[in-house]
Each structure stands twice: as structure tokens, then as C-alpha cells.
Amino acid sequence: MVIQDTPEEWQVTATETPFTGNKTSVRTDDVVMPDGAVVRRDYQVHPGSVAVLALDDAGRVLVLRQYRHPVRHKLWEIPAGLLDVPGENPLHAAQRELYEEAYAKAEDWRVLTDVYTTPGGCDEAVRIFLARNLSEADGERFAVSEEEADMELARVELQELVRGVLAGELHNNCLVVGVLALAAVLAGDGIDSLRQAEAPWPARPFEV
């Protein structure tokens, strides 16, 4: 048996969109099950996201602390954001987010991992990049607002983040996945084993 996710699509007999928001919507599908029963499934439709685990020359990870209203927490996170345009190149989106949220740029980019954040209730797909050879960005700083106006920035040792994840002190999905993935890479085949920055992404196809 090959342990690998595979695309599959069960028959949908009816669909509707009871809610449409600014960036996401809710869809209701009537789906035919293997036993022939038709069941209703509600889920959030999401444009997709990118996240950046930015690693500096001292082995520290660039992290941000931001208020997240749905969970009523200030969470430590890595730079991340939505794919603003359908078909947008995720590398370009990641470079934009690193600039906007951390006023930084990177010379070396790799794909760290791809994830579905909550596949039982949302179709969001996230590509997490590893960015290295960091430096300060060029030009004016991005004008932040709303939750981002209160954002804090820090650089933290990778192993301290691993400790915090395993201790239940850090909860942001992209930070947890990115930190543990990088720790596994460094303990295994090394960064050169990672995919190139513009590797195909079937979950959110794009043009190079």
C-alpha cells in the first residue's frame, strides 16, 4: 500500500451558497455516499493561503504575535496570508507577506510542506515555504491596520519553538506544522531535499 493522498470526487446532486463573505463563503452540497445515501455537507470555501517559515543565519525563526478573535487569543504565528487572486503564484504571495508583515526579504526559498488546515469543514489549502538568507526589505514599510496594527515581532530559536509546540504553549496551525517540519528536515535528509520554490501545487494550480 502506498501511503499517499489521492484526488477523488463523489457525486454532488445539489449545491447552494447560503453565505458569501468578503474573502470566504459557505457552501452546502448534497453528496452521494458509497451506500447510496445522500447527505448534506456544509463547508467553508477558501481561496487558499501561504505561510513563511523565515530562518535567519543564527538559526532563529521570525515569528509574529497577533490577536485572533475567533479563538480569543493572541497567537504566535509565522508570516502568512491569503492568495488574493485565483491562480496567483504562491511564491510571489509568500514574498509579499514576508515584506508586509515583517519588512523582510529572502534570497533562498523552498517549499517546506503543503497542508489542508481543516478538511472536515473547510477547503483551505496552505503552502508553507522555508525562506533563508534574510535581510531587511527595500522601500517603504507596509501600512498596517486593524489586528496587524498591534502585531509584535520576534526571532526565536527553532528548538525553543519545538519545545513550545510540544508543551501545548503554541497553537497556530502554520507555525506548528512549519516548525515541526523543519525540525524533521534538519534531523533527516537536510534542506537540499526540499522541493523547489515553484514546485507544482495541485490544490491551488498556478502559472510560473
CA 75 to chain centre: 15
> Can you tell me which residue has the cell 503554541?
170
Which residue type sits at 128?
A: I
DSSP per-residue codes, the chain:
-----------EEEEEEEEE-SS-EEEEEEEE-TTS-EEEEEEEE---EEEEEEB-TTSEEEEEEEEEGGGTEEEEE-SEEE--STT--HHHHHHHHHHHHHSEEEEEEEEEEEEES-TTTB--EEEEEEEEEEEEPSSSPP---GGGGG-EEEEEEHHHHHHHHHTT----HHHHHHHHHHHHHHHTT-GGGSEETT---TTS----
* Annotation says 136 is catalytic: no
Of residues 147, 148, 157, 160, which has the active-site annotation? 148
Note whether 129 and 51 are within 8 A (CB): yes
Q: Catalytic amino acids?
A: 148
